């Protein structure tokens, strides 16, 4: 069972894996939160490092929306590699170069999660001629169902600043079910009413 080829609304796989924090089971980790599951091809690469640096900077914004960030390392990298790489990510952000990030990074040195979640990019190969992990974003709701799926080729970096408003929209739709309030116009046609930004 994997995300790719599944429909929005399908229940996410309840996988278990080691992370930089501990061993976790996906559904237990999420509890009643939204989940932001992202993958990257390889630790210590420039694009992946800047992506996760930005994710670390935006972690508090995602937390305000009850969204747990879960960058999954879908490559041949281990927890030990992730911990060492975390120092670079923190240093890139101008912070103390520690092994602690505001989210766990999953160990997938055997590509088990990559295969389970359908995240391989067959067009990109590593030095062992193995398919690289694509850059994938999955958002799950508190019901553990898939709400969003974005798949980038391994060669294109994701943009967490673009994802935040999408996640906000998904979250607000859940809270404000009838969000399409309209304003009466002289023509009688309905027009969306916009609320000023704070």
As annotated, the active-site residues are 48
| Three-state SS annotation for 70-121 | EEEECCCCCHHHHHHHHHHHHHHCCCCCCCCCCCCCECCCCCHHHHHCCCEE
Q: 5's torsion region: left (phi>0), alpha (psi -120 to 50) or beta? A: left
Strands 16-18 and 146-152: unpaired
Distance of CA 138 to the CA centre of its chain: 6
Q: How far is CA 38 from CA 63, 93, 148, 176, in A?
A: 16, 19, 11, 26
What are residue 70's DSSP bridge partners? 37
Residue at token pair 């160990």 = 107
Phi, psi (degrees; rounded to nearest 5) at 83? -65, -45
Burial of 104 (0-12, 13-18, 19+ CB in 10 A): buried
């Amino acid at each position: 069972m994997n995300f790719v080829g599944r429909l929005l609304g399908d229940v996410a796989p309840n996988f278990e894996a080691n992370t930089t924090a501990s061993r976790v089971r996906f559904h237990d980790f999420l509890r009643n939160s939204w989940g932001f599951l992202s993958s990257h091809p390889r630790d210590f690469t420039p694009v992946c490092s800047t992506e996760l640096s930005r994710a670390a900077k935006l972690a508090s914004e995602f937390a305000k929306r009850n969204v747990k960030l879960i960058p999954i390392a879908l490559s041949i990298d281990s927890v030990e590699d992730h911990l060492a790489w975390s120092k670079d990510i923190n240093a890139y952000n101008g912070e103390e170069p520690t092994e602690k990030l505001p989210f766990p990074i999953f160990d997938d040195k055997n590509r088990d999660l990559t295969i389970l979640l359908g995240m391989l990019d067959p067009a990109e190969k590593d030095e062992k001629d193995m398919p690289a992990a694509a850059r994938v974003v999955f958002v799950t709701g508190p019901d553990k169902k898939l709400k969003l799926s974005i798949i980038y080729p391994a060669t294109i970096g994701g943009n967490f600043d673009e994802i935040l408003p999408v996640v906000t929209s998904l979250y607000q739709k859940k809270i404000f079910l009838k969000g399409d309030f309209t304003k009466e116009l002289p023509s009688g046609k309905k027009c969306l009413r916009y609320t000023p930004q704070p």
